[in-house]
Amino acid sequence: MKQDNLCILVIGQGGREHALVWKLGASPRVSKVYAAPGNPGMEGLAKCVPIPANDLHQLACFALENHVDLAVIGPEAPLALGASDEFMRLGIPVFGPTKAAASIETSKVWAKQFMTRHRIPTADYRIFRDPEAAKRYVRAHGGPVVVKADGLAAGKGVVVAHTLDEGEQAVDIVANLTAGREIIVEDCLFGREASFLVITDGISAIPLVSAKDHKRAKDGDRGPNTGGMGAVVPAPGFDFSLQTQIMDDIIMPVIRGLSSEGHRYVGVLYAGLMLTSQGPMVLEFNARFGDPETQAILPMMESDLVDALEAAVEGTCSSITLDWRDGACVCVVAASCGYPEQPRLGKEIFIDEEQAEKDGVLIFHAGTRLDGERLVTAGGRVLNAVSVGSSMEEAASRAYRGLSHVSFEGMWVRHDIGRPGACRIQERRA
């Protein structure tokens, strides 16, 4: 029988974790939510405890002392450090893969070789230690290539190069970033991108609604890469038959492949996909909920998220289906002046929460902190304005209207999230 009065610990402090706290706290089965370290937007929904997300020992001690029934790990860094392993060692139920299984995100080389072993559709690639050898390959290859650093690089380790010169420069950029580590050079794929996430117990998988994030700083998916300037649900161009194909050709083979290699993968498996003319192909995997996709996915979920997370931990995902609202959801990120290069921090933030609520807009905090009584900016991506609607157009209008109730000096947003022309389709240049 299902347990009630659950006590949940959410690890992390961004917009994704605020959305998780909001959704988990709404469950009638949950009586207490802790967030470590959390952010000021979570106050009232969760008790924030000042333990950094990477302090595994303190987190585990806190969970034991406070009788946490389920720990939910938001970001990749604690997973890479082995947070799940530590919780499991102490017998604390945890949602998030082990350090070894999280290699699917933390090492791009490991992920590519895994995909080859299990015939998962992805771009052809070569791996190099020597940057000069990588450049010779780029020249011999001739076509557009994508150069990737191994390991976590906070979104900076991937360069798409359309010409030979760009390709060689890309090798230098990536080699400088990760001196001595391996470099991947892969074929450039063409099409639309989409994010597809499942919750899995390592045997079966519960699909979430498709999403599309917008990583580029400028309208039309142009300009420098960021941590994500917005997200929409569903992903443009996505339908049920595509979902079935992705489950059959990508998600389930990955879960079975991980299992056959000794990894019972518990958590979110996030596939970053290119929808090519030859079918969906994997750009990357993440071992966690996406940010900002999660801020747009969870408001669409009618079911209780706790049931799904618990099923993943208990190995009963095959008995769960999730219900979703019709329509669409749009998340727009409000960023600090100077982001992504050098965000200016410490600017006072004003939020008219009453008006935002009246307009049906959720404001999820990301880079915010309290300075005495004042709420100030503490990161490049500061707030997320999120709204559902019966159509993408309606959801976008509401989310943008919601942003008018938020302000801080230097605040900027993309203006096209959820609107026509926002998605640049990766096309072969003439």
Binding-site ranges for ligand AMP (CB under 6 A): 123, 146, 148, 158, 160, 186, 188-189, 193, 215, 272, 274, 283-284, 426
158 binds, among ligand AMP, ligand GLY, none (CB under 5 to 8 A by kind): ligand AMP
146 binds, among ligand AMP, ligand GLY, none (CB under 5 to 8 A by kind): ligand AMP
What is the spatial distance between Cα 262 and Cα 101, in angstroms, rounded to a whole number? 9
Nearer to ligand GLY by C-beta: 201 or 291? 291
Q: Which residue is nearest to ligand GLY (CB)?
A: 290
| DSSP one-letter string for 107-136 | -HHHHHHHHHHTT--B--EEEESSHHHHHH
Nearest-approach distance from CB 148 to ligand AMP, in angstroms:
6
- Cβ neighbourhood burial of 392 (10 Å; 0-12, 13-18, 19+): buried
393 binds, among ligand GLY, ligand AMP, none (CB under 5 to 8 A by kind): none
Which residues are at the interface with ligand GLY (CB under 6 A)?
A: 213, 228, 286, 290-291, 293
200 binds, among ligand GLY, ligand AMP, none (CB under 5 to 8 A by kind): none
Contact 42, 48 (CB under 8 A): yes
What is the spatial distance between Cα 364 and Cα 383, in angstroms, rounded to a whole number? 6
Task: Name, in order, each residue with C-beta under 8 angstroms of 223's C-beta and a sequence gap of 6 or more.
Answer: 216, 217
383 binds, among ligand AMP, ligand GLY, none (CB under 5 to 8 A by kind): none
- Helix (H) or strand (E) run with residue 410 in it: none
User: End-to-end distance of the chain based on CA atoms, in angstroms?
Assistant: 61
Nearer to ligand AMP by C-beta: 192 or 347? 192
Tokens at 265, concatenated: 């993968």
Nearest-approach distance from CB 14 to ligand AMP, in angstroms:
18
Nearer to ligand AMP by C-beta: 74 or 228? 228
291 binds, among ligand GLY, ligand AMP, none (CB under 5 to 8 A by kind): ligand GLY
Cα angle vertex 250, ends 248, 256, to 5°? 85
Nearer to ligand GLY by C-beta: 38 or 228? 228
What is the spatial distance between Cα 179 and Cα 128, in angstroms, rounded to a whole number? 12
Contact 9, 86 (CB under 8 A): no
Nearest-approach distance from CB 311 to ligand GLY, in angstroms:
23
Nearest-approach distance from CB 141 to ligand AMP, in angstroms:
13
Nearest-approach distance from CB 308 to ligand GLY, in angstroms:
19
Nearest-approach distance from CB 51 to ligand GLY, in angstroms:
23
